[in-house]
Chain A
Amino acid sequence: MIRTTRIRVFLTGVGGQGTLTATKVLAQAALDEGLDVTAGEVHGMAQRGGVVESTVLIGGYQSPRIAHGEAHLLLGFEPLETLRALPYLAPGGIVVSSSEAIMPMSVARGKESMPPFEDIEALARACAEAVHFVPAISLGVQAGASQAANMILLGALCAVGRMPFGLSRLAETIKTTMAPRLHDVNIKAIQLGAQAVCVDNSDK
């Protein structure tokens, strides 16, 4: 198990899922915690429906990029994209991912099929020290809006114990960066996300 004061988080999802908002909140939370942070994102080229990748690097990195084999934490917003991003994991890394699939066009049109979820899970377990799949969209709906799935995942991420801050910091940052009408849903969401990981842990 890696013990480092420096953490590289690789985030991946589908355009429109709120991965960039999550990236911003996570980076801001690190900054609010008094930590060095650099983050990066790839967007543009009508990412709607395409893959969005972003990074948050905490603890003194200068580069905003994460290469294969460098991510201590992989936060996947969609299981197929989690699978695609597994090579980014560093030895001993942890996967936190949504378990709920969003079909690519070719799959929705019946041209290709998704790998079975069990296969994705097995491949993730083979690469990672720990793997946590949470039903992010359903839990988001439970928190009050399907769009809160991104905060479900941030809550889960902070609950696995590798991040240098916890839920209370995340909640504070949500309060200072988001419009007041969104506070309750998103704070509920990070709590539900964290609980999902804890339940998941007790199962093992």
Chain B
Amino acid sequence: MAQPLTSGVAGDIHLLLGNEAIVRGAIEAGVEVVTCYPGTPSSEVPDTFFHLSKGGNFSFEYSINEKVALEVGGGATLGGALTLTTMKHVGVNVAADPLMTLAYIGTPGGLVLLSADDPGCHSSQNEQDNRIYARLAGLPVFEPASAQEAKEMTRQALLLSRQWEQPVMLRTTTRLNHLRGPVQFGEVRKPTPAGEPVKNPNRFVPIPAVARARHAQLLKKFEEIGTWAETTPFNNVSGKGEIGVAVSGISRTYLADALMEFGIDGNVRVLSLGFSNPLPNKTCTDFLNSVKRLLVIEEGEPVLENELRVLAQRASLEIEILGKGFAGLTRLGEYDTRIVGKALAKIADINPPPASTCSILPETLSALPKRPPNLCAGCPHRATYYTVRQVFRDTVFYSSDIGCYTLGILPPLAMADFLLDMGSSVSAGCGFARASGKTVVAFIGDSTFFHSGITGVINAVFNNHDLLLVVLDNGTTAMTGGQPHPGVEVHAQGPNPVQVSIEGLLAASGVTEVRTVNPMNLKATRAALDELKEMTGVRALIARAPCIIHARRILKTKSDQVAYVPTTTNSIRACLETLSCPAFTVGQDSAIAIDETACTGCMVCLQVSKDIKAHKRRNK
């Protein structure tokens, strides 16, 4: 099928995921370089670019972490390329260092940073509001609220970044990234480099003398951009009346629907901000001056609210400003039409529409069996975890990291005692072991190892830490959907001819005791762990077997054999209790069976219980 994102022409309307709309916007702007580290909810942006990269007019890379992605992107824009760098909100923490300086020295080719925030922690360890990062660094911010806006704003952000020579933040939230809506395409601008790069160390090398001058430049530039913000149609005032609502980001959609549902569309004065930093101060002050009571609706932190309070105070306005803490508007999680509607009804003094008439008690619902995500049947991490637990039980502490394997927290595996951030299992594990004197077993995935695990390893060797590191190498970046990294053998677009060796990196870092095993071989894994258990210092087990989804989709491997239970015995019960493979089921008569469609034929359970047997797969 033709790929509309590249071949689509102006006027076409396609139903796109928010993340796909961002890709189209970048293509329309003529993006030349795209760098990223994948992370939900941003992942489909780089994944789509990756898919389009063969024959595309842009250069694309999966960088090893967000800092590197922004540094490569930063170098590209200094070299004159129109550049997009994408990551999830916590990724910006990793990239914060180059980010602060890029705003000082500027971006001659143009550079947009996509920060995909995750209020509600759908797939993240926190719900930080990166609008604050934009204020810290001095980045103009676009906050789209529909697929169409995602496309338009990405295009505009890139082109304005080049015009302003300043980095721009495209700040999205999970709901925007993962919504689907119609998008009307515009013209595709041909990629055009900004011209020959010019040597200018007085701008681009921020030694203190340069940095001081550039800071002043940044503030001046920001003022100019504030003037532009007064005129952009992405910011607008509508409606009439003494009650005002100021709103930004995806909350603009919740407000629009609540106004429509209440039938008071037009009877409330609304300041809608799609370009939210720097604020259009004049527009905002005029707006504050035109209403008596103001409700500020924004998910996350009271960023807009506080800035409007400052403006009101500066202009000595008698206005009541309500935001966080009013009518259930919290700093926690996501908003929706009902939450916004409730606050709107309270300030506008109208009755909200009736809530659900469903009479099910919350207790009934909370008592239902939960359905948490789980390590897949046949996942090699399950086998590794099983054996580590057999060897160490609860006598050690398990330092966890970010990836599918974090799901090993669930009992009976229970393989996660603490976790800070991506790459922390190594370094936090070292600190924990030194402080507590306890043995720490740290787990890290292959992609995470390259992301920021390796720096922790180098530190651990240099500082004589005591750590047993287990590298769970499943040959792909599994959790975010199977993206390649330097260590993979093969990925969606073919073999990786320049595979970087984890063993080689460990050896070069000074880790002398390294064992590589196939975790599906429990005996060999156990023997290696028993050996490493007796040692001190930094030592590592590499547990290498492909992610089962990667094996099926990319490696095209599938087992013809599956496990089955001839008769339920105590040893099979024990296997179910300790291995907890999701292919096992317990019938009403307590008989254990193995679901043949779920079983991948990994045969780990046969090694746990001699009573489990293998036979040929019956259905294809």
Contacts and interface: CB of A to CB of B under 8 A. Distances in A.
Nearest to A146: B597
Given A39-B181, A42-B178, A65-B175, A90 B356 contact: yes
Contact of A114 (B15, B174, B369): B369
B336 interface: yes
Contacts of B576: 109
A101 to B, nearest CB: 11
Contacts of A36: 182
Given A44-B122, A44-B123, A68-B338, A91 B180 contact: no
A103 B145 CA distance: 37
Contacts of A60: 260
Interface string B556-600: 000000000000000000001000101011100010000000000
Contacts of B147: 38
Given A38-B146, A40-B175, A64-B179, A91 B373 contact: no
A46 B479 contact: yes
B30 interface: no
A202 interface: no
B360 A127 contact: yes
A47 B355 contact: no
A28 B356 contact: no
Nearest to B576: A109
A44 B356 contact: no
Contact of A67 (B338, B360, B372, B480): B338
A171 B359 CA distance: 37
Contacts of B256: 62-63
Interface in B394-413: 404, 407
Contacts of B372: 50, 105
Nearest to A46: B373
B578 to A, nearest CB: 12
B182 A108 contact: no
Contact of A70 (B179, B338, B370): B338
Interface in A78-116: 80-81, 83-84, 86-91, 103-110, 112-115
B145 to A, nearest CB: 7
Interface string B333-358: 01011110000000000000011111
A28 B147 CA distance: 14
B337 A70 contact: yes
B73 interface: no
Name the interface size band of chain A: 35 or more
Contact of B357 (A15, A45, A80, A91): A91
Contacts of A126: 358-360
A111 B256 CA distance: 45
A130 interface: no
A179 B175 CA distance: 28
Contact of A46 (B260, B334, B404): B404
A31 B181 CA distance: 9
A50 B337 contact: no
Contact of A109 (B1, B40, B364, B584): B584
A81 B370 CA distance: 10
A157 interface: no
Interface in A12-58: 14-15, 23-24, 27-28, 31, 36-51
Interface in B487-528: none
Contacts of B354: 69, 91
Nearest to B586: A110
B41 interface: yes
Contacts of B359: 126-127
Given A15-B373, A48-B374, A87-B360, A23 B180 contact: yes
Given A47-B373, A49-B371, A106-B369, A68 B178 contact: no
Given A108-B585, A110-B590, A61 B179 contact: no
Nearest to B357: A91
A157 to B, nearest CB: 17
Contacts of B339: 67
Name the interface size band of chain B: 35 or more
A123 interface: yes
B356 A38 contact: no
A41 B178 contact: yes
B101 interface: no
B210 interface: no
Contacts of A114: 369
B376 interface: yes
A22 B404 CA distance: 26
B253 interface: yes
Given A27-B15, A37-B181, A68-B338, A63 B371 contact: no
B12 to A, nearest CB: 12
Contacts of B77: none
Given A39-B179, A67-B339, A80 B356 contact: no
Nearest to A123: B360
Given A40-B180, A45-B123, A62-B145, A50 B360 contact: no
Contact of B368 (A46, A84, A108, A110): A84
A110 B337 CA distance: 39
Nearest to B371: A104
Contacts of A104: 369-371
Contact of A69 (B15, B123, B338, B480): B338
A114 B237 CA distance: 52
Contacts of A47: 373
Contacts of A38: 146-147, 179-181, 253
B447 interface: no
Interface string B258-295: 00100000000000000000000000000000000000
Contact of A48 (B43, B178, B376, B584): B376
Contacts of B580: 105, 109
Given A41-B178, A70-B338, A109-B586, A89 B371 contact: no
B119 to A, nearest CB: 12
A143 B179 CA distance: 30
A63 B370 CA distance: 28
Given A46-B373, A62-B145, A86 B182 contact: no
Contacts of B582: 49, 105, 108
B20 to A, nearest CB: 11
Nearest to B39: A44
A119 to B, nearest CB: 9
A89 B254 CA distance: 18
Given A62-B257, A69-B338, A37 B15 contact: yes
B193 to A, nearest CB: 35
Interface string B371-404: 1111110000000000000000000000000001
A86 B185 CA distance: 38
Contacts of A70: 337-338
A69 B261 CA distance: 13
Contacts of B586: 108-110
Q: Please list the 6 inter-chain residue pairs (A to B) with the smallest Cβ-Cβ separation, ordered nearest first.
A: A69-B356, A44-B40, A110-B586, A50-B373, A67-B338, A64-B179
29 contacts: A38-B179, A38-B253, A39-B181, A42-B178, A43-B178, A45-B40, A45-B479, A46-B375, A47-B373, A48-B549, A49-B373, A50-B371, A50-B374, A61-B260, A64-B178, A65-B336, A65-B337, A68-B355, A69-B338, A69-B356, A69-B357, A89-B356, A91-B354, A108-B585, A109-B586, A113-B369, A123-B364, A126-B359, A179-B1
Given A45-B40, A49-B374, A80-B369, 4 more contacts: A37-B180, A44-B123, A45-B479, A63-B257
